[in-house]
Amino acid sequence: MQKFFANRLSLIVLISACCVILISMGLRQTFGLFFEAFENGLGVTRTEFGLAIGIQMLFWGIFAPIFGILADKFGGNKAVFLGFIIFALGIFMLYSGPNTGIYFQIALGVLVGTALGATAIGVPVSEVGKHFPNETRTIATGIVTAAASIGYFLSPLLTKYSLVQFDWEDTLRYFLIFIVFGLIVSLFLFPAKTVINSSQVDREQTFWSAMKEAFSHKGYVLLVLGFFVCGFQITLVGTHIPGYMQARGMDGWSATIILALIGFFNIFGTLGMGYLGTKYRKKNLLSILYSLRAVSICVFIFSPPSMLNSIIFGVTFGLLWLSTVPPTNGIVAQIFGTKYLSTLFGIVFLCHQFGAFTGAFLGGYFYDNYGSYDYAWYMAIVLSIFATLIHYPINETRIQRVDNTI
């Protein structure tokens, strides 16, 4: 433990990031369970619901690099604290009104999406990455991502129980309690005192120089494209799996079990991928991961609907769910260093959210227009093959910068 944690600050930041991402990603995972309540209570169609989740994903992506810039400049604790305030505002507006029409899109889409840009994945994972060297970074970020899995596992179960026992308005009020706790623990997401494994020229690199360097690197561009696929797939599942299971004649608990199993087994997937990232090339791990996603989806949609099939999908896709994050973040840090890690990973995550928007919207669009989610699943399979192929050419070698002032 002493070797893994360089100092007490790194331990504090790791614990804080785990709590932040557990709350944020846990709450985010439950919105798909509200689709029927929103249909009955607010008259929201599945296309409108899918659009709101799509907008949420898009704003999450747009604000991930913006909050990343704020985190790199002022500290992750300030960026995440602001994000939780916006999160609370979105949830409050969603249950208290006005919450129909454009206001539904603003509350669930714009405000919650903006908040996720600060509180989910990008900033917490990257801030932890700044406190650990390349040798242990994927393990540390894997631990943080695994904390999201605990939220993924518990939140759907608790939310489903609350929706059955109480109502959707009370359930959203309970969400605010967790957000307040997130506000408190976010204050301990302190910035690193030094830039790890960096030379003087690395530390003096300017923001615009870092942006130019990243986008001129083929591997970074391929990572950006690959993360689009991840966003499409997990948001398609997280948003539309309740409706898909209902359309296949399964009861509501089948979808809840899938989401809960995804969350539980994602713990092992992210921790395992974090460990494997210290032993093998991260780009190869990503290619294998995306190919396995294609297999998991194929087995799920082409097999007869049953509880056993639901359990198998929940387990297999859970192992692959957020396992993309440690190696993707690790490649960015390994190539470019950690000074602008929150910003550079935030940009990668922006493309992830473009994919998330596409998956959320097209799932609802295909269902409302064709009466089936099948076309969205076919797209997810094709995209898996695409992502499998484009990660192999990535060069993970660290960029060596030259001091031109000499």
Q: What's the pLDDT tens digit per position in 18-51? A: 999 999 988 987 887 887 888 888 888 878 887 8
Q: Which CA distances in Å does 325 have to 110, 121, 231, 348, 401? A: 24, 8, 11, 11, 26
Query: Is the model more confident about 6 or about 332?
Result: 332
Q: Is the pLDDT of residue 402 over 70?
A: no
> Once rounded to an integer, what is the mean pLDDT over residues 188-202?
69
Mean pLDDT of the chain: 87
Cis before 393? omega within 30 = no
Tell me the CATH number at 205.
Answer: 1.20.1250.20
- Domain extent for 179: 12-190+197-390
DSSP assignment letter at 5: -
What number is the average pLDDT over the span 335-357?
85
User: Using one digit for the tens of pLDDT, what is the confidence trace for 134-186?
Assistant: 788 888 888 888 888 788 778 878 888 888 888 888 999 999 999 999 999 99
Running DSSP on this structure, what letter comes out for residue 340? T
Rounded Cα distance, 254 and 237, in Å: 13
Cα separation of 58 and 141, whole Å? Answer: 23
Please check whether residue 97 lies inside any domain of the structure.
Answer: yes
In-domain check, residue 4 = no
**8 Å CB contact between 256 and 160:** yes
Residue 1 pLDDT more than 50? no
Residue 325, pLDDT above cutoff 90: no
State how far the Cα of 87 lies from the Cα of 118, in Å rounded to an integer: 10
Provide mean pLDDT across the span 392-402: 82
Place of tokens 């499998």: 388
Q: Residues with Cβ < 8 Å from 369, sequence gap 6 or more? A: none
Share of residues in the chain with pLDDT > 70 (%):
95
The CA-atom distances, in angstroms, between 293 and each of 202, 229, 348 are 37, 11, 20
What pLDDT is attached to residue 330?
87
* pLDDT attached to residue 274: 85
Q: What is the pLDDT of residue 2?
A: 46
Number of folded domains that form the chain: 1
- Which of 107, 91, 238, 87 shows the shortest CA–CA distance to 170? 91
Reply yes or no on whether the pLDDT at 296 is more than 60.
yes
Region 241-258 average pLDDT = 82
Residue 289 lies in a domain: yes
The answer to whether position 401 is within a domain reads: no
Asked, for residue 399, whether it belongs to a domain, the answer is no
Which pLDDT does position 113 carry in this prediction? 93
User: What is the model's pLDDT at position 197?
Assistant: 55
Contact present, 373 and 243 (Cβ < 8 Å) = yes
* pLDDT higher than 80, residue 241: yes
Which is more confidently placed, 316 or 194? 316
Q: Which residues contact 396 (CB under 8 A, 6 or more apart)?
A: 219, 281, 282, 283, 331, 334, 335
The pLDDT confidence band at residue 406, using thresholds 50, 70 and 90, is very low
Q: Is residue 332 part of a domain?
A: yes
Task: For residues 198 and 405, give the distance between their C-alpha atoms in angstroms, rounded to a whole number.
Answer: 17
The reported pLDDT for the residue numbered 196 is 61
Residue 371 pLDDT exceeds 70:
yes
pLDDT for position 252:
66
Give a yes or no: residue 397 inside a domain: no
CA separation for the pair 126, 187 (Å, rounded): 16
pLDDT of residue 40: 84
Q: How confident is the model at residue 200 (pLDDT cuts 50, 70, 90)?
A: low
